[in-house]
Amino acid sequence: MKGLYSRITGTGFFVPSRVVGNAEIGDRLGVHADYIERVSGIQTRHWVAPGEDCSWLGEQAARQALEQAGILPDDLDAIIVSTTSPDVMFPSTACLIQGRLGVKGMPAFDVSASCSGFLYALSMADGCIRSGQYRRCLVVAAEVKSRALDLTDLSTAILFGDGAGAAVLEPSGDPGVGVVSIRLHADGAFHDLVKIFGGGSRRPLSHEVLEAGAHTLRVQGSKIYRLAVRRLTQAVQAHVAEEHWAVQKLDHLIFHQANSRLMTQVCQALGASAERCFSIIESLGNTSSASLPIALAQAHRSQRLQPGHQVLLGTFGGGLTWGTALLRWG
Pick the CATH number of 6-174 from 3.30.470.20, 3.40.50.11060, 3.30.420.40, 3.40.47.10: 3.40.47.10
Task: Please provide the DSSP assignment of 43-70 as one string.
Answer: SEEEEPPTT--HHHHHHHHHHHHHHHHT
- Residues taking part in catalysis: 115, 256, 286
The class that CATH gives domain 179-328 is alpha beta
Query: Residue 200: pLDDT above 90?
Result: yes
- Closest to 76 in 3D by CA, of 54, 100, 48, 108: 108
pLDDT-derived band at 4, boundaries 50, 70, 90: confident
Give the pLDDT confidence of 241-251 residue by residue, as tens digits. Answer: 999 999 999 99
Res 5: pLDDT = 87
Query: Residue 3: pLDDT above 80?
Result: no
Query: Which H or E run includes 169?
Result: strand 162-171
Q: Where are the domains of the chain?
A: 6-174, 179-328
pTM for the predicted model, two decimal places = 0.96
> Rounded to 5, what percent of the chain is helix, strand, coil?
40, 25, 35
